[in-house]
Amino acid sequence: MANEKIMIVDDDGNICELLRLYLEKEGFSTVIFNNGQDAIESFNSVKPDLVLLDIMLPGLDGWQVCRKIRSLSSTPVIMLTAKGETFDKVLGLELGADDYIVKPFETKEVIARIKAVLRRVGTQAPEQTKEVRYDKLVINLTNYELRVNGVQIDTPPKELELIYHLASNPNRVFTRDQLLDEVWGFDYYGDSRTVDVHVKRLREKLEGVSDKWELKTVWSVGYKFETKEPPANG
C-alpha cells in the first residue's frame, strides 16, 4: 500500500507535522489544512483517499466539515478527538465518519487504523469481483457500489460492507457483536449502537424497494437479510 493521499485537517501544527512525517515514511502523500473552510474548498481539487479530521477546529468544526465532505464524496473520514472531549460515536456515524482516534495517540495506531480503513475501501482485481444480486438490488463490494432499481446510491463504505455481508448470507441471523467482529474487524473500538446506526441508514435507502427481500430485525438477537430466493452472485 503506497501513494495514497491523506488529507490532514488539524489546527495544531505540531500534530500535523508529526502525522506528515510518519505517514510519508509509510509511503503516503499528505496535504495539510489548519481549518475546516480551507479543507472543504480544496477537497475536490486535492482528491484525498482518506481524511484525518480534528473535531475542534476554528470556524467550522469537524462535525460540519465531515457533513460537507460526505455530501461531496464517500471518501473515508477518521475523526480525531482530544482526550476528555465528549465524542458522540453515534453522531459521528450518522454524519458518515468511518472511525475515530483519541488524542494523545500512538502514531502506530494511526497508521494501523488508516491502513485498515483503506483496505476496506480498496479495489480488487476484476477476477475477484465481489457482488450479490437480488430483485432490484445489486451490491458490488469490489467497486463499492450499491444499485437500487438500476440507480447507483451513494453509500458510505461501512454501510455497503454491512449490507454485503448480510446479503451474502441470506436468512442467517447475526448478533450485533458478530457483525462488529466480522464487518468492522478486531481493530474497531465500538459498541452495538454502531450496528444499529448503520442498519437505520441502510433501511432509509432500501425500505420498500422489493417485496422479495427485507433487512429485518430479529428482536433481542440482531439482524438478517431475509429472502425467499438465493442471491445471484457476480
Same domain, 138 and 116: no
Same domain, 209 and 101: no
Number of H helices, E strands in the chain: 8, 13
DSSP 209: S
Q: Which CATH number covers residue 165?
A: 1.10.10.10
Same domain, 93 and 147: no
From CA 117, how far away is CA 74, in angstroms rounded? Answer: 12
From CA 160, how far away is CA 165, in angstroms rounded? Answer: 8
Q: What is the residue range of 22's domain?
A: 5-121
Out of 102, 121, 140, pick the residue that ends a domain: 121
Sign of the torsion angle spanned by Cα atoms 178, 180, 181, 183: positive
CB 170 within 8 A of CB 230: yes
Out of 100, 121, 142, pick the residue that ends a domain: 121
Tell me which residue has cell 433481542.
Answer: 220
SS3 state of residue 164: helix
From CA 50, how far away is CA 94, in angstroms rounded? Answer: 18
CB 207 within 8 A of CB 199: no
Q: What's the confidence (pLDDT) of residue 127? A: 41
Out of 121, 138, 157, pick the residue that ends a domain: 121
The pLDDT tens digits for 106-160 are 888 888 888 888 887 763 333 456 899 999 999 998 778 899 999 999 888 889 9
Q: What are the beta bridge partners of residue 29?
A: 5
Instruction: List the pLDDT tens digit at each of the 234 positions of the chain.
Output: 457 999 999 999 999 999 999 999 888 999 999 999 999 999 999 999 999 999 889 889 998 999 899 888 889 999 888 755 656 666 666 677 888 888 888 888 888 888 888 887 763 333 456 899 999 999 998 778 899 999 999 888 889 999 999 999 999 999 998 898 888 765 455 567 889 999 999 999 999 999 999 999 999 899 999 998 777 765
Name the E strands within 45-177: 50-54, 77-82, 99-103, 131-134, 137-140, 145-148, 151-153, 174-175
Q: How many domains does the chain have?
A: 2
Same domain, 110 and 145: no
The total number of residues shown for the chain amounts to 234
Same domain, 17 and 116: yes
Q: What's the confidence (pLDDT) of residue 191? A: 67
CB 118 within 8 A of CB 207: no
CB 48 within 8 A of CB 71: no
Work out whether strand 174-175 and strand 222-227 pair parallel, antiparallel, or are unpaired.
antiparallel
Same domain, 226 and 131: yes
Hey, what's the cell of 95?
454524519
